[in-house]
Amino acid sequence: MALQSARPCGDFRVSYAQDMTIFPTRGSLIACIVGLALLMCAPAVFDRYGLSLLILIGIYGIAALGLNLLTGFTGQISLGHAAFFGFGAFTSTYLSNKHGVPVALSIPLAGVITTFVGMVVGLPAARIKGLYLAIATLAAQYILEDFFSRAEWFTGGAAGAMAKPYSLFGYALKGEKAYFYVVLAHLVALYVFAANLLRTRDGRAFVAVRDHYLSAEVMGVDLTRYKVLAFGISTFYAGVAGALMAHYVSFVSSESINILLSIQFFAMIIIGGMGSVMGSLMGAAFMVLMPEALETIVHLMKSTSWGNIPKIVDGLNFAKEAAIGLVIVLFLILEPQGLAHRWRLIKSYWKLYPFAH
């Protein structure tokens, strides 16, 4: 049975256990373990700048994962994800500053409180769908933004609030290296939860709601319950990500929680691939690395004689912003299923290499 490790050229699954498995081959299990081990070594390899990028990818990846659970798996469009991200950031800051909750505890707690807010928003939103939901969540984004700038007792108003550094059992974990492990731990836990959620009854119900909500209801899926549940889980992710962000940059203000951030989260799941857990991280990585790549290109151009055009060099920030819009449009037209799909194609190409069927 030498060919046992080779997979057939289609999906031939004969049992539910095969269908639901996380690791379809032993190779994918090994790849996962090796990848995780490599990530654990990352602080030894990268400098502070590289680590800060990895931390950002991790934080945005968590938020994108949450949005993907809501939009990619349950089919509910939310343009207000940044508002929940911000809510988590403010909640964790508020809990740790005003009530002395240790930061290690205040981050998940912020996630839980954000979940309640998300469910309160999600409950009426469960009545509407599609385009109307997109507009309603857009309104929620503006209303929450307004709340952040108004509620000084909670957010520090226009001035913002300082967030404490992360501490565990009384030891403050400072610097990128320590924080990298903090983010990694949260990311792995939430990633595993998301990947496993989709193997459960609830996860399949989410997909059923997305694919055909009427049929799902006829089959006995409680629409309101699962829509609200999806909102809750998605906002939990957003809240945790926001809290991690707040304690990383140690400052949070309502200025940064704008609609553009919501659009960026959406861009991440479009680029990564809607309905793909892995894709959320790919999209987050793309969105974090793209501005850096632009910056590098502009710096290289600046040092040459022909590329030092003031309009381009000075307009770098606008170029970064325009690039966000442009990649959304280009991905939707050219690669609507995202990087995760491209990755699958590449994998299957090599797997079947000489005999692409």
Partner 1 sequence: MRWDLLSLFLVNGLIVGVLYGLVAMCFVLIYKASRVVNFAQGELMLIGAWVCWSALAQYGLSFPVAFLFTVAFSALLGVAIQLVVLRPLIGEPLISMIMVTVGLSVFFQAVLKWIFGVAPQSFPPVLSVQKISFLGMEVEAAYLASSGAAIVLLAGFAYFFKVSKLGLAMRATAFNQQVAQSLGVSVRHVFALAWAISAFVSAMAGIVIALVNGVSAGLSAFGIKVFPAVILGGLDSIVGAVIGGIVIGVLENVAEYVDGQYLHWGNLYTIAPFYVLVIILMIKPYGLFGSRDIERL
Bridge partners of 172, per DSSP, are: 167
Binding status of residue 37 toward partner 1 by CB under 8 A:
no
* Sign, CA torsion 41/43/49/54: positive
Whether 296 contacts 95, CB under 8 Å: no
Nearer to partner 1, 140 or 184 (CB): 140
DSSP 304: S
Binding status of residue 57 toward partner 1 by CB under 8 A:
no
Binding status of residue 50 toward partner 1 by CB under 8 A:
no
Among residue numbers 71 through 100, which ones bind partner 1 (CB under 8 A)?
Answer: 71, 75, 77, 79
For residue 198, which of 343, 18, 21 has the smallest C-alpha distance?
21
Q: Tell which one of 39, 42, 104, 319 touches partner 1 (CB under 8 A).
A: 319
Nearer to partner 1, 42 or 123 (CB): 123
Nearer to partner 1, 42 or 263 (CB): 263
Binding status of residue 297 toward partner 1 by CB under 8 A:
no
For residue 148, which of 309, 29, 261, 296 has the smallest C-alpha distance?
261
Residue span 149-178 as binding mask against partner 1, x where in contact by CB under 8 A, dash where not: xx----------------------------
Residues whose CB is less than 8 angstroms from the CB of residue 335 and which lie 6 or more positions away in sequence, other chains included: 341, 342
Among residue numbers 250 through 269, which ones bind partner 1 (CB under 8 A)?
Answer: 260, 263, 266-267
**196-200 contact pairs (CB < 8 A, 24+):** 196/22, 197/69, 197/233, 198/73, 198/277, 199/20, 199/22
Among residue numbers 111 through 150, which ones bind partner 1 (CB under 8 A)?
Answer: 124, 127-128, 130-132, 134-136, 138-140, 142-143, 146, 149-150
Alpha helices in 47-157 (DSSP H): 48-67, 81-98, 103-125, 130-150, 152-155
- Binding residues for partner 1, total number by CB under 8 A: 45
**At 278, which amino acid appears?**
M
Q: Tell which one of 40, 192, 332, 356 touches partner 1 (CB under 8 A).
A: 332
> Per the structure block, which two tokens stand in for 255?
């200025």
Residues making contact with partner 1 (CB under 8 A): 71, 75, 77, 79, 124, 127-128, 130-132, 134-136, 138-140, 142-143, 146, 149-150, 214-215, 218, 260, 263, 266-267, 270, 274, 311, 315, 318-319, 321-322, 324-329, 332-333, 336
